[in-house]
């Protein structure tokens, strides 16, 4: 079988400047991969994250080698073989490998004329609603962004923390969103003792969990917080690849996986099962991504306890169509399109 491959880079504006404890971004660069056979085109996206050493430049630099693997194997159904050979070709660059993995899965499911979740044997009625992220800003602006999110139908919100007014922010948001399900994410900003002190007070605001309270480089600090926290703890920066799952198992309650961290859809599924085997709950998050990759993540939603798939929702305008998520709820009808549903 002859497979034709191509990729393109695009710079996309965010709807609002997006600030987390580490910095601010106003736009994002994504790379979209296409893999075609005689009948169908598979689409996949990379949303590279500089925190993990990737940019659109590094993705574009390795994609020719990764797509050469695809063309060499020739059969898109050989997903395991292709993903393994891609990993042998470039050991890092997980977002680049993920884009190819998604495009292949999209193509394979389209060839079989089934939605991706169905190819995997999952039950779409088990999907959970995605959270919508409120980035750091002055407290009044964060309150206004929360009101806008509620008007758009979001009932699950994730609030970025890691400031000197974290309590004030959560109090302000809770005051306008008394019934919303609330997550908070400190993105490594706290020391272990500071984290415990803050979480003890945050526990008054009915939060579902606290994500990545301390730096990933401090695994003992994560354990210190986990053993003392009155709220569940999620690990994101501490949980990058499959090998990290056993390392965080006795240091948190929830593993936050991301396709752009782990390097492919098959690896993501392995991480989900490994996390469950270690007694962890599972969240699937995302980077700044377009629908070219978010659509694939939607098909994994039946396997999750928490979804944080607002990458496309945070863009001013997404050039790619995907699975609509009005108010964070995955559109089950759109999920019925063959492949991932990205176009």
Sites of contact with Mg ion (CB under 5 A):
185, 211, 236
Q: How far apart, in whole angstroms, are the C-alpha atoms of residue 150 and residue 172?
A: 14
CB of 223 to Mg ion, least distance (A): 19
Sequence-distant (6+) residues with CB within 8 A of 19 are 135, 136, 137, 160
Nearest-CA neighbor of 256 among 223, 218, 297, 207?
A: 297
Q: State which residue, 98 or 238, has the beta carbon closest to Mg ion.
A: 238
Q: State which residue, 251 or 337, has the beta carbon closest to Mg ion.
A: 251
CB of 258 to Mg ion, least distance (A): 8
Q: State which residue, 21 or 150, has the beta carbon closest to Mg ion.
A: 21
Rounded to the nearest 10 degrees, how much is the dihedral formed by the CA atoms of 263, 266, 270, 273? Answer: 130
CB of 155 to Mg ion, least distance (A): 20
CB of 283 to Mg ion, least distance (A): 9
CB of 334 to Mg ion, least distance (A): 26
Q: How far apart, in whole angstroms, are the C-alpha atoms of residue 102 and residue 341?
A: 11
Nearest-CA neighbor of 259 among 287, 236, 290, 299?
A: 287
Q: State which residue, 187 or 312, has the beta carbon closest to Mg ion.
A: 187
CB of 133 to Mg ion, least distance (A): 9
Q: State which residue, 185 or 289, has the beta carbon closest to Mg ion.
A: 185
Q: State which residue, 166 or 211, has the beta carbon closest to Mg ion.
A: 211
Distances (CA, A) of 242 to 6, 199, 248, 267: 29, 28, 11, 7
CA triple 234-147-196, angle to 5 deg: 30
Secondary structure (3-state) at 165: coil
Q: State which residue, 236 or 310, has the beta carbon closest to Mg ion.
A: 236
Token output for 119: 């190819």
CB of 256 to Mg ion, least distance (A): 6
Sign of the CA dihedral running 8, 40, 3, 81:
positive
Cβ-proximal residue to Mg ion, closest one: 236
CB of 75 to Mg ion, least distance (A): 36
Report yes or no: 309 and 284 within 8 Å, Cβ to Cβ.
yes
Distances (CA, A) of 319 to 6, 160, 233, 257, 322: 17, 26, 35, 25, 10
**Which residues partner with 285 through β-bridges?**
258
């Amino acid at each position: 079988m002859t497979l034709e491959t191509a990729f393109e880079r695009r710079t996309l504006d965010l709807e609002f400047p997006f600030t987390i404890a580490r910095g601010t971004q106003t736009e994002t660069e994504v790379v979209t991969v296409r893999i075609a056979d005689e009948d169908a085109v598979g689409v996949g996206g990379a949303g590279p994250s500089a925190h993990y050493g990737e940019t659109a430049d590094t993705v574009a630099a390795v994609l020719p080698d990764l797509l050469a693997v695809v063309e060499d194997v020739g059969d898109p159904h050989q997903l395991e073989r292709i993903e393994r050979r891609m990993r042998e070709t470039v050991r890092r660059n997980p977002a680049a490998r993920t884009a190819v993995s998604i495009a292949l899965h999209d193509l394979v499911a389209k060839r079989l004329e089934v939605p991706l979740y169905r190819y995997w044997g999952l039950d779409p009625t088990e999907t959970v609603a995605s959270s919508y992220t409120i980035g750091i800003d002055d407290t009044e602006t964060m309150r206004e962004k929360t009101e806008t999110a509620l008007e758009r139908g979001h009932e699950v919100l994730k609030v970025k923390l890691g400031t000197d007014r974290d309590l004030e922010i959560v109090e302000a948001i809770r005051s306008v969103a008394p019934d919303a399900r609330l997550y908070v994410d400190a993105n490594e900003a706290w020391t272990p003792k500071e984290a415990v002190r803050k979480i003890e007070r945050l526990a008054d605001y009915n939060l579902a969990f606290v994500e990545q309270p301390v730096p990933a480089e401090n695994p003992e600090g994560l354990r210190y917080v986990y053993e003392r926290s009155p709220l569940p703890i999620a690990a994101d920066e501490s949980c990058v690849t499959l090998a990290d799952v056993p390392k965080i198992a006795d240091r948190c309650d929830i593993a936050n996986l991301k396709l752009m961290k782990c390097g492919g859809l098959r690896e993501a599924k392995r991480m989900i099962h490994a996390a469950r085997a270690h007694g962890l709950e599972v969240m699937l998050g995302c980077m700044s991504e377009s629908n070219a990759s978010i659509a694939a993540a939607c098909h994994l939603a039946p396997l999750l306890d928490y979804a944080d798939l607002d990458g496309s929702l945070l863009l001013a305008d997404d050039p790619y169509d995907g699975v609509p998520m009005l108010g964070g709820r995955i559109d089950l009808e759109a999920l019925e399109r063959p492949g991932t549903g990205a176009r």
